[in-house]
Homo-oligomer: A and B are copies of this chain.
Amino acid sequence: MSDDAALLFANEAFYHAFRTRDLAAMERLWSAHPSVTCIHPGWRVLHARDDVMASWKGILDNADAPPIACREPRGHIHGAFGLVLCYEVIGGSVLAATNAFLLEGRDWRMIHHQAGPCELKPAQLVAPDPEPMQ
Residues of A within 8 A of B (CB): 33, 35, 37, 39, 41-45, 47, 72, 74, 76, 78-81, 83, 85-87, 96, 98, 100, 102, 111-112, 114-120
Question: CB distance A96 to B45 under 8 Å?
Answer: yes
Contact A118 B85 (CB under 8 A): no
Contact assessment for A78 and B81 in the assembled complex, using a CB-CB cutoff below 8 Å? yes
Task: Verify B117–A83 contact, CB threshold 8 A.
Answer: no
Q: Tell me which residues across on chain B come within 8 A of A115, comparing CB atoms.
A: 116
A86 to B, closest residue via Cβ: B45
| Chain B residues within 8 Å of A116, by CB | 39, 41, 96, 114-117
A98/B39 in contact, CB under 8 A: yes
A79 touches B78 (CB 8 A): no
Please measure, in the bound complex, the distance between the C-alpha atom of A87 and the C-alpha atom of B79, giving whole angstroms: 28
A118 to B35, CA, bound (A): 21
Cα-based distance from A79 to B83 in the complex (angstroms): 15
Quick check: B83 and A39 within 8 Å, CB to CB? no
Q: Is A74 a contact of B96 with CB atoms below 8 Å?
A: no
Chain B residues within 8 Å of A72, by CB: 45
A34 to chain B minimum Cβ distance, whole angstroms, is 10
User: Smallest distance from the beta carbon of A95 to chain B beta carbons, Å?
Assistant: 8
